[in-house]
Amino acid sequence: MEADKVDKFLLANESKFPEYEIPIHRLLNFTPEQELILETTRFKRPGRILLVSIFFGTLGIDRFLIGDIVKGIIKLLTGGGLGIWWLADWFMITGVAKRKNMEKLNQIINI
pLDDT at residue 55, as a whole number = 96
Instruction: Using the predicted structure, report yes or no on whether residue 2 has a pLDDT greater than 90.
Output: no
- pLDDT for 20-71, tens place per residue? 788 888 888 898 999 999 999 999 999 999 999 999 999 999 999 999 999 9
Q: What's the distance, CA 53 to chain centroid?
A: 14
Tell me how far apart the terminal alpha carbons of the chain are, to the nearest angstrom.
Answer: 15
Report which of 91, 106, 102 is spatially closest to residue 43, judged by C-alpha positions.
102
pLDDT at residue 90, as a whole number = 94
Please give the mean pLDDT across all residues of the chain.
Answer: 92
Q: Please state the pTM of the whole predicted model.
A: 0.86
pLDDT at residue 59, as a whole number = 94
Confidence of residue 3 (pLDDT cuts 50, 70, 90): confident
